[in-house]
Amino acid sequence: MLRDITLGQFVPGQSFIHKLDARFKTVLIIAFTVLVFVSKNFASIGLVAVLLVGASAASRIPAKMLIRSFKPLLPFILFTVILNMFYVDGQILWQFWVLKITKEGLLLSAMMALRIIFMLLGGSLLTFTTSPIVLTDALERLMKPLSWIKVPVHDIAMMMTIALRFIPTLIDETEKIMNAQKARGADLESGGPLKRAKALIPILVPLFVSAFKRADELALAMECRCYTGGKGRTRLKQMKAAPRDGFAVLITAAVTTGVIWLNAILPPIITR
Amino acid sequence: MNEAIVFDHVDFEYDPNEPVIRDLSLTICEGEFVAVLGHNGSGKSTLAKLINAILIPACGKVTVFGMDTADEALTNDIRKNAGMVFQNPDNQIVATSVEEDTAFAPENLGVPPPEIRKRVDTALDEVGMREFADRPPYKLSGGQKQRVAIAGILAMQPKILILDEPTAMLDPKGRKEVMTTIKRLNASGITVVFVTHYMDEAAKANRVLVMDRGVLVRDCPPRTLFAEVEFLRGLGLDIPPSAKLAEELKKSGLPIQKTVLNATECAEEIASLIGGQKCR
Amino acid sequence: MPIISVKDLRHVYSPGTPFAQTALDGVSFDVEKGEFLGVIGHTGSGKSTLMQMLNGLLKPTSGEIDFNGENIQAKGYNLHELRFSVGMVFQYPEYQLFEETVYKDIAFGPKNMGLKPDEIDRRVRRAAQFCGLREELLERSPFELSGGQKRRAAIAGVIAMEPKVLILDEPAAGLDPGGREKILGQIKNYREQTGSTVVLVSHSMEEIAKYCEKVLVLEKGKVLLHDSTKAVFARADLLRDTGLDIPEITKVLLKLREMGYDADCSAYTLDAARDEVLRLIGGDCRA
């Protein structure tokens, strides 16, 4: 049933990557993404690829699943590739009327494609190995400094937690309401876009009304448990850095150094 | 005995023309197991909400262990001591796992993490949900969710547990789970006040408060109350079916002495009358 | 010919996955026209799954369901139309109210049936009357009503379709004793006046005992018992061993049996139980 599908494609596991502190994971993935875009030649991006492959292997997520994560975006990647192929000036390899493919264009598109794919894979690696709630937690803790400039970090995190908590419940409720209205002859399947939109009213109105009621009751229950916002709150689960996190940082630092060095000693793929 | 909850000539209304509670005075002592009965609109839920400062009296005073509910500075202390469980099991669970939800209250109170851990484990043990600690709430049954809600309150280590129709949305299995849990909690010393319209649940309490249109009309043990069949009927309430049977038998002339509260008592009463006439 | 005939119904949720769950495991029974059938079973016994199949909301993995002799799974069978003849009231139906006025909400079903405005009007008013909703309430927003009124408005919305079979899943759930009696009394009255077949799913044994003539007991996706109310409650020991609730009165008689007295457990109404006890004691003690 619908609610058995976990959000953000989280796949529970015990791998090295799974066990990394979520805060470190998040920061490292951001660093990784920066590296992907900072690499100037195939050697440096090759090094980044090694890091990616290593991390993927360490996560024990099946390759098929990882590939599925960027498959839907393949058309977009292809589109970018084609655009870059035809619109970069340089050494012309093939020409037909106004369309010309240059060597530089090919190199640039290849680089572009790799960058996008690596970035997506990196992001997927994060969401596959970290549950949405742990991720929300990590983000809350990472963004804590922002609360000094009045960003309501805790409130946002609490809203996200509650949303994650209620999504399966709301999905269930939608199913129930749909069944009840279908039982009264509601036709949710046929008709043009306008008719179908109208047919959603008997579903959306009860859903919204009940959502508001839920919010009311939940807020009351929270107050009865002495909730007064984020100030002074402690947490059951502590996030503690472990040696493996230090190890992951070291490896990433090494790759970063390598990328900078390779960028410096080898020519970039195109000189502009 | 310590006075846990005191209502002193309390009036309450949502709408100035429609008083919901009128001149209510009562005292509940520590350790009592009190049921609040009444038809819909009798003010029974309002009574419960006046205890932990969700609602403040228009006239009169409500105190919990001496703390005045009207004093905003004391609200959190009052709620720490008088925890409340509501009717809808879903709309009380705020976190994505059982133990994280149980930890919610201690987290709000700034309890140090190792202590939170202890409280969560103890609370879950008390409601029998320890093995479900890392389950998400949507995978639980109604009775299980309600027990998690109770654990969430127990984690505050309250002296009083207030429950507003906690079993109304549960199936018989869930109702049983919850009633067994609260009976056990009361046995361990927690004062329990629960609002209900189920007669068999009220039968399990030591003391029943009956509300009718905002007025406290009866304050007595269940056995005394269930003897007043016509009175209860007039209020739109009922008595447990076994008590009804005993009444019928009494009307037919049988010398039923006791006001029975459940099937076992009824059977025993009947058996004592059959005496030596065993037919088997 | 029975109005509904269920033949060897089987259903598995998420088949072939690690989450596979057998909900129905070979269920067969008939419902006669005009019958008042009670359905009991644990949560998870397959009750809701079964009910949702009777009006075509859910398709079984295998098995056949006939309505008026026609197989509703057959190709080309109009399931959309079936729902007007087999009306279903879900649990806590007040959560499905959505229209601007109670009148419009009750009219939703008849409107979907494509009826003419004056026919719709007749049906709406009739349904409102059956459910004890006063005229003035019809023009109000359903969200202004009290809990009990909302419940009755939702039930009226299904009755307005004038279904031949009315299935109700715990129509009195969450209501106080007064509210329960009112709603069930209205359903009983509706049936008597229209001769409709009514299927009542309930956890309350007292309710089933009071209103139903026949009872279907489901356990773990199978039919445990399907017989007259009297015969089913005579098997009180089986019900109790399955973990199902039995009417409190039956509990008393069962206890007397256990104590060694020859109590007939099939006496499930208050009057019958009283008479049975008097019989055991040896006659009416009135002088």
- The pLDDT tens digits of the residues spanning A111-144 come to 888 898 899 899 889 988 998 888 888 999 999 8
pLDDT at A1 over 70: no
The mean per-residue pLDDT over the stretch A90-94 comes to 75
CATH of residue B207's domain is 3.40.50.300
**Domain identity same for A91 and A18:** yes
Question: Looking at residue B279, what is its pLDDT?
Answer: 38
Q: How far apart are CA A137 and CA A154, in angstroms?
A: 10
Quick check: A131 and A9 in contact, CB under 8 A?
no
Q: How far apart are CA B210 and CA B217, in angstroms?
A: 6
CB atoms within 10 A of CB C204: 19
| Domain extent at residue A112 | 2-131+239-265
**Domain identity same for B184 and B277:** no
**Domain identity same for B215 and B265:** no
Question: Looking at residue A201, what is its pLDDT?
Answer: 93
pLDDT at C283 over 60: no
Residue of C13, C93, C108 with shortest CB distance to A202: C108
Query: Does any domain span residue A257?
Result: yes
Write down the mean pLDDT value for chain C. Answer: 91
pLDDT at C277 over 70: yes
Question: Looking at residue B252, what is its pLDDT?
Answer: 86
What angle is formed at CA B45 by the lines to CA B120 and CA B16, rounded to 5 degrees?
Answer: 135
A177-181, B16-20, C58-62: lowest mean pLDDT where?
B16-20
**Domain identity same for A21 and A115:** yes
pLDDT at A7 over 70: no
Half-sphere exposure of A98 (CA within 13 A, CB side): 1
**Domain identity same for A192 and A103:** no
The mean per-residue pLDDT over the stretch B141-151 comes to 96
CB contact under 8 A, B172 and C286: no
Residue of C148, C179, C273 with shortest CB distance to B245: C273
pLDDT at C281 over 50: yes
The continuous run of DSSP H or E covering B178 comes out as helix B172-187
Confidence of residue C111 (pLDDT cuts 50, 70, 90): very high
**Domain identity same for A124 and A243:** yes
State the smallest CA–CA distance between residue A181 and chain B in angstroms.
Answer: 22
Report yes or no: C143 at the A interface, CB cutoff 8 Å.
Answer: yes
**Domain identity same for A123 and A148:** no
The identity of residue A69, as a single letter, is: S
Query: Does any domain span residue A247?
Result: yes
Question: Looking at residue C34, what is its pLDDT?
Answer: 94
Q: How far apart are CA A248 and CA A130, in angstroms?
A: 16
The identity of residue B29, as a single letter, is: C
**Domain identity same for B98 and B231:** yes
pLDDT at C284 over 80: no
φ/ψ (deg, to 5) at C5? -130, 120
DSSP type of residue B87: S
**Domain identity same for A217 and A255:** no
Question: Looking at residue A3, what is its pLDDT?
Answer: 43
**Domain identity same for B32 and B157:** yes
Answer with the one of B206, B222, B239 that is the final residue of a domain: B239
Residue of C96, C97, C109 with shortest CB distance to A185: C109
Please return the burial class of C111, using the count of CB atoms within 10 Å of its CB with bins 0-12, 13-18 and 19+: middle
ipTM: 0.91
Confidence of residue C71 (pLDDT cuts 50, 70, 90): very high
**Domain identity same for B130 and B226:** yes
Chain A residues whose beta carbon lies within 8 Å of the beta carbon of residue C166: none
Query: Does any domain span residue A36?
Result: yes
Query: Does any domain span residue A137?
Result: no
Residue of C96, C112, C161 with shortest CB distance to A180: C96
The token pair at B70 is 């009207």
Report yes or no: A209 at the C interface, CB cutoff 8 Å.
Answer: yes
Question: Looking at residue C17, what is its pLDDT?
Answer: 81
State the smallest CA–CA distance between residue C89 and chain A in angstroms.
Answer: 7
Query: Does any domain span residue A124?
Result: yes
The mean per-residue pLDDT over the stretch A23-39 comes to 92
pLDDT at A271 over 70: no
**Domain identity same for B244 and B116:** no
Chain A residues whose beta carbon lies within 8 Å of the beta carbon of residue C97: 206
pLDDT at B226 over 50: yes
HEC-encoded secondary structure of chain A: CHHHCCHHHCCCCCCHHHHCCHHHHHHHHHHHHHHHHHCCCHHHHHHHHHHHHHHHHHHCCCHHHHHHHHHHHHHHHHHHHHHHHHCCCCCEEEEECCEEEEHHHHHHHHHHHHHHHHHHHHHHHHHHHCCHHHHHHHHHHHCHHHHHHCCCHHHHHHHHHHHHHHHHHHHHHHHHHHHHHHCCCCCCCCCCHHHHHHHCHHHHHHHHHHHHHHHHHHHHHHHHCCCCCCCCCCCCCCCCCCHHHHHHHHHHHHHHHHHHHHHHHCCCCCCC
**Chains in contact with B, where contact requires at least 3 CB pairs less than 8 Å apart:** A, C
Q: How far apart are CA C246 and CA A119, in angstroms?
A: 62
List all residues 6 or more positions away from C17 whose beta carbon is below 8 Å from its beta carbon: none
Report yes or no: B244 at the C interface, CB cutoff 8 Å.
Answer: yes
Confidence of residue A8 (pLDDT cuts 50, 70, 90): low
Confidence of residue A64 (pLDDT cuts 50, 70, 90): confident
Question: Looking at residue B97, what is its pLDDT?
Answer: 92
Question: Looking at residue A6, what is its pLDDT?
Answer: 43
Confidence of residue B277 (pLDDT cuts 50, 70, 90): very low
**Domain identity same for B74 and B165:** yes
Q: Which residue of C has its CA nearest to A1?
A: C14
Quick check: C156 and C127 in contact, CB under 8 A?
yes
List C-alpha distances in Å: A145 to A34, A141, A237, B110: 22, 8, 20, 20
Half-sphere exposure of C3 (CA within 13 A, CB side): 21
Q: How far apart are CA B167 and CA C176, in angstroms?
A: 12
**Domain identity same for A127 and A149:** no
Query: Does any domain span residue A230?
Result: no
**Domain identity same for B103 and B123:** yes
**Domain identity same for A45 and A168:** no
Question: Looking at residue A4, what is its pLDDT?
Answer: 41
Quick check: B33 and B207 in contact, CB under 8 A?
yes
Quick check: C280 and B249 in contact, CB under 8 A?
no
The token pair at A74 is 């393949």
CB contact under 8 A, C280 and B277: yes
| Coil/strand/helix, residue B171 | coil
pLDDT in tens, B205-222: 999 999 999 999 999 999
**Domain identity same for A118 and A246:** yes
**Domain identity same for B123 and B64:** yes
The mean per-residue pLDDT over the stretch C271-286 comes to 76
Q: How far apart are CA C116 and CA B90, in angstroms?
A: 42
Looking at the structure of chain A, the number of domains it has is 2
Is the Cα dihedral B140, B144, B145, B148 positive or negative?
Answer: negative
State the smallest CA–CA distance between residue B46 and chain A in angstroms.
Answer: 14
Q: How far apart are CA B259 and CA B208, in angstroms?
A: 15
| Domain extent at residue B184 | 3-239
Report yes or no: A176 at the C interface, CB cutoff 8 Å.
Answer: yes
The identity of residue B90, as a single letter, is: D
Report yes or no: A214 at the B interface, CB cutoff 8 Å.
Answer: yes
Quick check: C109 and C161 in contact, CB under 8 A?
yes
State the smallest CA–CA distance between residue B113 and chain A in angstroms.
Answer: 5
Q: How far apart are CA B207 and CA A207, in angstroms?
A: 40
Chain C residues whose beta carbon lies within 8 Å of the beta carbon of residue B141: 43
The token pair at C177 is 């004793």
Of A46, A64, A44, residue with least CA distance to A54: A46
Which residue intervals of chain C are DSSP H helices?
47-54, 79-85, 102-112, 117-130, 147-159, 177-194, 205-211, 229-234, 236-241, 248-258, 270-281
Report yes or no: C70 at the B interface, CB cutoff 8 Å.
Answer: no
The mean per-residue pLDDT over the stretch B54-74 comes to 95
**Domain identity same for B33 and B166:** yes
Query: Does any domain span residue A219?
Result: yes
**Domain identity same for A12 and A63:** yes
Looking at the structure of chain B, the number of domains it has is 2
The identity of residue B134, as a single letter, is: D
A99-103, A261-265, B59-63, B263-267: lowest mean pLDDT where?
A99-103
In angstroms, how far is the first alpha carbon of chain B from the final one? 51
Chain C residues whose beta carbon lies within 8 Å of the beta carbon of residue B277: 280-282
Stated pTM of the model: 0.89
State the smallest CA–CA distance between residue C253 and chain A in angstroms.
Answer: 40
Question: Looking at residue A2, what is its pLDDT?
Answer: 43
The mean per-residue pLDDT over the stretch C224-241 comes to 90
DSSP type of residue B97: S
List all residues 6 or more positions away from C88 whose beta carbon is below 8 Å from its beta carbon: A180, A183, C51, C52, C54, C55, C57, C158, C167, C168, C169
pLDDT at C89 over 70: yes
Question: Looking at residue A40, what is its pLDDT?
Answer: 87
**Domain identity same for A11 and A122:** yes
Write down the mean pLDDT value for chain B. Answer: 91
Per cent of chain A over pLDDT 90 is: 40
pLDDT at C119 over 60: yes
**Domain identity same for A178 and A203:** yes
Report yes or no: A50 at the B interface, CB cutoff 8 Å.
Answer: no
**Domain identity same for B173 and B115:** yes
**Domain identity same for B15 and B67:** yes
pLDDT at A87 over 80: no
Chain C residues whose beta carbon lies within 8 Å of the beta carbon of residue A180: 88, 90, 93, 95-96
Query: Does any domain span residue A233?
Result: no
Question: Looking at residue C188, what is its pLDDT?
Answer: 94
CB contact under 8 A, B156 and A226: yes
Q: Which residue of B has its CA nearest to A221?
A: B92
